[in-house]
Structure 1
Amino acid sequence: MYDLTAFQRDLLSVVAGLDEPHGLAIKEELEDYYEKEVHHGRLYPNLDTVVDKGLIDKGHLDRRTNIYSLTQRGQRELEARREWEDEYVGEVRVS
């Protein structure tokens, strides 16, 4: 996971959290989070990268729509990342 960009890590999280993670749904979730447009030229090459790394599987919902799912390795990587973050952040306390 150390070799992923923050955007690619966000892709993993969004794919893990959606019922039917297809390109447009992923794009909309990221746009809501970033509060700005996510261009296709950014989204799809990064999805291909995490697919190539074996973190996400890419299938076909229909002839025009790809659907993505987290692999077991992707799930393990997300869990490891969360554990690592918890070591440093834990519960956020307001002073």
Structure 2
Amino acid sequence: MYDLTGFQRDLLMVIAGLDEPHGLAVKDELEEYYETKIHHGRLYPNLDTLVEKGLIEKGTIDQRTNYYTTTRRGRREINARQEWEERYLNA
């Protein structure tokens, strides 16, 4: 996960915390957290990068809507990151 941007890590965390969210649900969650608008041109290329890296999978709801799920590798990366953070936060 060291090679992800902060935004990509946040995308991964949101997807892991929701049940097969579609892109707009992920966008809404991040807009609430960041307190700013997130444009589609930022969101979807970063989701595609996470798919390419094997951290999330993209499925189809209908012709216009995709959903996202965290892969086994994505969950392992999240767990490793959490352990790394705890080592420093609990020191």
Identify the TM-score tier after normalising by the shorter chain.
over 0.9
Name structure 2 gaps, 5 residues minimum. none
For residues 3-82 of structure 1, the aligned pairs below 5 Å read 3-82=3-82
Structure 1 unpaired stretches of 5+: none
Matched residue type, 2:59: G
Does the 8 Å contact 2:15/2:70 carry over to 1?
yes
The percentage of counterpart residues that share the same residue type is: 69
CA RMSD of aligned residues (A): 1.0
TM-score, normalised to structure 2, is 0.97
* TM-score (normalised: structure 1): 0.93
Q: Which digits, 9 at most, give the CA deviation of each residue in 1:18-45, with x for residues without a partner?
A: 1231100000000000000011000000
* 2: CA distance, partners of 1:69 / 1:19: 8
| Structure whose alpha-carbon radius of gyration is higher | 1
Q: Runs of 4+ in structure 1 displaced over 2 angstroms?
A: none
